[in-house]
Amino acid sequence: MRSAHRSLIVLAAIITLSFIACSGNKSSSEGVKLQGAGASFPAPLYQKWFKTYGASHDGVEIDYQSIGSGGGVKSVIDKTVDFGASDAAMTPEDMAKVDVGVQLLPMTAGCIVLTYNLKGVTELKLSRQAYAGIFLGKVKKWNDPLIVKDNPGVTLPDQPVNVVVRADGSGTTFVFTKHLSAISPEFAQNPGVNTLPNWPTGTRSKGNEGVTASIMMTPGAIGYIEYGYAKSQNLPMATLENKSGAFIAPTIASAQAALATAQFPDNLIAWVPDSEAKDAYPIATYTWMICYKQYKDKAKFQLLQGLLTYCITDGQKESEALGYIPLPSAVTDKDKAALHNITLAPNAT
């Protein structure tokens, strides 16, 4: 009887230890964290994607820090993240600094808008000459004739134009200065295309978030931000003159029209600095995630592959509600093919 009792105790102990061991293994195998950092332009959508994906996968955590495109590229080069993000993509020189190689994937698209803080002015048209002049520091008053002529019936104040620009290395700035350089030879010469140009005018704020806050708090302010930020804060957005001479408001449809002509080379980096489409909003861009071509951690590699697959399939359905442009199928097909370039290192564990 005592022998049988001892046997039952031993058996119970074995079962308990086995359960603990199995539970421990489950926890360690599922407790996977990915760290990302970079562009603020797509941050609201990325945060939504990562939260949704993490919630449906036990033990998964995806942390993304919105530090600007320049910070994202630097983090990839320094290998302090598992993936980066940049609206300025990545230069060949920077790619060469990563010994395991990088794979860029266009993940979403959007437009850059000019939002402003003018009491009583709910609609504002800006010609190419007017908004280039504003960011060159040459259009200094809101009642400047260049602005007045395109806004009949609108009372524009005799008030200084308070320009707000980015203080950090920014892909949004890169895209905006690329466009300004395409429409203004003077801007192309100086300050030119850059993620952190030497602006001739303006106060500086960090991130799309910071620029948005500065504009909201500053009477007479104007600045460039991502469409989704302006939309989420119900900020007014200027209607801009496009290459064909039409004044086009920023919308999902007008941004899609701008990007429809983009042709992607093998590196999946494409630009449309000044679309020729008649119904195109003039400042639209893709934005990229930056992954390594080799990962040493098998669990992170598997999580990243699953996450990226979600982002370029079901995740695209979340885009439009947040003010982003869903990727066309031709682009997601290129992304899916490029996922095969992201592999496990030979010494992966």
Classify residue 12: in a domain, yes or no.
Answer: no
Same domain, 122 and 222: yes
The pTM of the full predicted model, rounded to 2 decimals, is 0.85
Residue among 261, 240, 236, 258 nearest 249 (CA): 240
Does residue 297 sit within a domain? yes
Predicted pLDDT of residue 349: 87
Same domain? 104 vs 141: no
When divided into structural domains, the chain yields a total of 2
Same domain, 239 and 208: yes
Radius of gyration of the chain (CA): 25
Is there a single domain that holds both residue 174 and residue 245?
yes
Where are the extended beta strands (E) located within the chain?
A: 32-38, 60-66, 83-86, 102-116, 125-126, 162-166, 203-205, 221-226, 239-241, 247-248, 284-292, 294-295, 343-344
Q: Is the domain of 120 the same as that of 253? A: yes
Separation in Å, CA 165 to CA 137, 205, 219, 252:
12, 6, 15, 24
Distance CA 104, CA 202 (A): 32
Q: Is residue 190 part of a domain?
A: yes
| Structural domain contains residue 10 | no
Q: What pLDDT is attached to residue 30?
A: 56
Per-residue pLDDT tens listing for the chain (349 residues): 444 444 433 334 333 333 333 333 333 335 899 999 999 999 999 999 999 999 999 999 999 999 999 999 999 999 999 999 999 999 999 999 999 999 999 999 999 999 999 999 999 999 999 999 999 999 999 999 999 999 999 999 999 999 999 999 899 999 999 999 999 999 999 999 999 999 999 999 998 889 999 999 999 999 999 998 899 889 999 999 999 999 999 999 999 999 998 999 999 999 999 999 999 999 999 999 999 999 999 999 999 999 999 999 999 999 999 999 999 999 999 999 999 999 999 988 8
Q: What is the pLDDT of residue 348?
A: 87
pLDDT of residue 160: 98
Q: Evaluate whether residue 70 is within a structural domain.
A: yes
Quick one: 192 and 142 in the same domain? yes
Residues 280 and 308 placed together within one structural domain of the fold:
no
Statement to judge: residues 78 and 158 lie in one domain: no
CATH code of the domain containing 42: 3.40.190.10
> Are both 328 and 208 inside the same structural domain?
no
Residue 42: which of 312, 254, 334, 288 has the closest Cα? 288
Query: What is the span of the domain harbouring residue 201?
Result: 111-260+272-284
Strands (DSSP E) found in 90-215: 102-116, 125-126, 162-166, 203-205
* Eight-state DSSP code of residue 287: E
Same domain, 296 and 223: no
164 occurs within a structural domain: yes
**70/123 same-domain check:** no
